[in-house]
Structure 1
Amino acid sequence: MPITSVNTDNDDLTLTIVADFAASKERLWEAYADPRLVEQFWGPETYPAKFFRHDMYPGGHSRYEMTGPEGDKSRGYWEFLAVDAPNSFEVLDGFSGDDGEPNRDLPSMRMVFAFDETADGSRLTMTTHFNSLEELEELVSMGMIDGTKSAMSQIDAVLADLARFAADIPAQLQLLSDTRVRISRVIRGSVSDVWRAHHDADLLAKWQLGPDGWEMTEVTPPAGPGSAFRYRWAPLTDTEGEAFSIGGEVQESHPESRIVHTERMEGFPGETLNEVTLTPVPEGTLLSYVITYASAEERDMILATGMVDGMEASYARLERILA
């Protein structure tokens, strides 16, 4: 059990939990920065969590859902107020409605996570600030301390398994729901370089080619919100296949952190919503690509084309270019 102390201060309206780990501060930070990892321990053991969004930058948001043993759902959100990697981050933690969006009518708590080095590894100090004594007492009576202990007891196993999420691992696919998937890849390169590689026409034409044997013949990269992008690929002379194009519109753009856009293949029905988040991690940049499809059937049909393998070929090519 990593928790070493729990302190409730009724005067300051705070709950402070301290936990120690036999891992470096940077690795402990990475466990909270990577949605694939934080979802393995944020919920208690009987209420595992799934993060549908995790934007670890000031102004960013997370959306998560915990599922109980009877299939009951508890949804929440984080709103990042401050991020000082790998030393601390601060969030508003609150409840979400059935649609996954924050329910501002319910109370939220301010939480501060501080990471420090120790002689044996690292220490996490998690301080929760409540709005009133009644709120503090109510949430403690509801089992908040026991739930947090159960959740944090899982972190050691996550830290021991970080090699499964390292930079030499190919792009990973995770089914988040019937219509949503997450594709994740750590890219050896800075966030600035990876962001530029997704917005610079010359760079895009060099790496975003999928399997070998294709070339990008048209490149109109995304810009700010409201802008349109369009790419067209064609097979080289000795490669089978027909030329095709995709396009879409940018809905959100937070430079070097997050971009949200629609995407459709020209000449085919259907449109996806793509959310791309870049997060600095010790080995480079974690790229998290969440795609929402119109239906499970559309999701399965597109994934069956080998899309993830094509993305991995492109990301591996990008790493060689950045190197």
Structure 2
Amino acid sequence: MAVITMDKNPEALTLTLVAEFDAGVDRVWQLWEDPRQLERWWGPPTWPATFHKLEFVPGGRANYYMTGPEGEKAHGWWEFTAIDAPRTLQFDDGFADDDGNPTGDLGVTHATVTLEPLGERTRMTIQSSFESEEQLEQMVAMGMEEGLKGAVGQIDGILAEHAHA
């Protein structure tokens, strides 16, 4: 399993996932940069994502939805606040309506993704920062911890396909 730790810190208002992969930093970066690869793992296995917009530049936006087991759709948006390829990216994240417009439901979270080389391997840290302890607890109650672990857990399979290509 790629996920090493998941740490919920109510005092710091953060949820931090650390994972390691048998691939170099540049290859792992592609999983964020390429919308077709991103949608293969963003979202847990039972809620796959579809990205219909991905402007991977600072100030750019992403619009996506995840499709649930009964065909229901949960829409979301990102706004990239910083990108330093292939090491770090930051984005604001929130829920959206069917047209991709932010709804304000459950506020906004801020994600910081860091990729660190470990020889031929890469350590990826995803830290989500919340506006309040209430927001953090609401997101965890909705399954954010399990969902993120499940989503990131799909990356090894994607990397293995390309390693043999």
TM-score (norm 2): 0.95
Secondary structure class of the residue paired with 2:42? coil
Q: Gaps spanning 5+ residues in structure 1: where?
A: 167-323
Q: Percent identity?
A: 43
Equivalent position of 1:205 in the other structure: none
Deviation at 1:39, TM superposition (A): 0.2
Secondary structure class of the residue paired with 1:17? strand
Equivalent position of 2:133 in the other structure: 133
Equivalent position of 1:28 in the other structure: 28
Secondary structure class of the residue paired with 1:161? helix
Equivalent position of 2:78 in the other structure: 78
User: Using the alignment, how far apart are the partners of 1:123 and 1:163 within structure 2?
Assistant: 17
Q: What RMSD, in angstroms, separates the aligned Cα atoms of the two structures?
A: 1.6
Deviation at 1:140, TM superposition (A): 0.9
Equivalent position of 1:159 in the other structure: 159
User: Using the alignment, how far apart are the partners of 2:25 and 2:37 within structure 1?
Assistant: 15
Secondary structure class of the residue paired with 1:44? coil
Runs of 4+ off more than 4 Å: none
Q: With CA pairs under 8 Å and 6+ residues apart, which has the higher RCO, 1 or 2?
A: 2
Superimposed CA distance per residue, residues 215-264 of structure 1 (whole angstroms, 9 cap, x where no aligned partner)? xxxxxxxxxxxxxxxxxxxxxxxxxxxxxxxxxxxxxxxxxxxxxxxxxx
Equivalent position of 2:148 in the other structure: 148
User: Using the alignment, how far apart are the partners of 1:160 and 1:77 within structure 2?
Assistant: 29
Equivalent residue letter for 1:136: L
User: Using the alignment, how far apart are the partners of 2:145 and 2:86 within structure 1?
Assistant: 25
Highest CA radius of gyration, 1 or 2?
Answer: 1
User: Using the alignment, how far apart are the partners of 2:163 and 2:24 within structure 1?
Assistant: 14
Deviation at 1:8, TM superposition (A): 1.1
User: Using the alignment, how far apart are the partners of 2:94 and 2:115 within structure 1?
Assistant: 22
Q: Gaps spanning 5+ residues in structure 2: where?
A: none
TM-score (norm 1): 0.49
Equivalent position of 1:91 in the other structure: 91
Secondary structure class of the residue paired with 1:45? coil
Deviation at 1:104, TM superposition (A): 3.6
